[in-house]
Amino acid sequence: MRVDLHVHASERSGCSVSGEEEIIRAAIDFGLDGLAFTDHQVLVPAARLTELNAKFAPFRIFSGIEIHTIEEEDVLVIGVNDPRLEKRAWNYPALYEFVRDRAGFLAIAHPFRYREKVNIDFEDRVPDALEGASFNIRPERELLIRNLAEQLGCRLMCSSDAHFYDYVGLCRLVLDGNPANNEELVRLLRSGAYQCETDEDRMARARAGL
């Protein structure tokens, strides 16, 4: 199962130029089997998730959100559809504990995107993964990310960070299974039952602005 777990829709992310249904149709055309909308500080309402899953089945839409923390880092949360995620100014330790208590998946989005350090003291709060490849990760940063993942002892993941329908699935995960819901997806992710995949031709065209 191919999934893109870092996608923004214009209904909730003002920086996105494509709506959720346009993005889903593009994802299907690009051979994806599922995605998570990870809008900035906003969840897809549970009723809308149910509606989208019914409309586009067997394509799957999972619960996700991107949180900008007090440390000025971005964190992807997958599989937790708790509105309290939207309501707080989160620091990383509190967000980590909140997600862990709800059996979710937590990954650092585009590390080193804005600076040559990550502003988080991880201590014993190691994320499930670092995002190691996306449209918004420059190739020269990938070695820094791999080195940090090795230092922390965590996995890498990849995703598109798409804000435009034509970029969805540029990077994606190939899951070793076919999760039917958030809980099954999180179990696969946290067990590392996936491989990273990049559509190199599409990525090259996207970065060239073609």
Over residues 22-45, mean pLDDT:
97
Q: Taking a C-beta distance cutoff of 8 angstroms, is the pair 135, 160 a contact? A: yes
User: Strand, helix or coil at 132?
Assistant: strand
User: How many Å is the Cα radius of gyration of the chain?
Assistant: 16
Express each pLDDT in 164-202 by its tens digit: 999 999 999 999 999 999 999 999 999 999 999 999 999
| C-alpha distances out from residue 88 to 52, 67, 137, 164, 192, Å | 27, 10, 27, 28, 30
- Pull the structure tokens for residue 56: 């586009």
Say how far apart CA 210 and CA 29 lie, in whole Å: 19
Say how far apart CA 38 and CA 41 lie, in whole Å: 8
What does DSSP assign to residue 17?
A: -
| Model confidence, pTM | 0.95
User: Strand, helix or coil at 62?
Assistant: strand
Q: Is the pLDDT of residue 4 over 70?
A: yes
Q: How confident is the model at residue 210 (pLDDT cuts 50, 70, 90)?
A: low
Q: In percent, how much of the chain has pLDDT > 70?
A: 100
Express each pLDDT in 144-171 by its tens digit: 999 999 999 999 999 999 999 999 999 9
Say how far apart CA 66 and CA 8 lie, in whole Å: 9
Tokens 């394509």 sit at which residue? 59
Helices 20-29 and 46-56: crossing angle in degrees, nearest 10, is 40
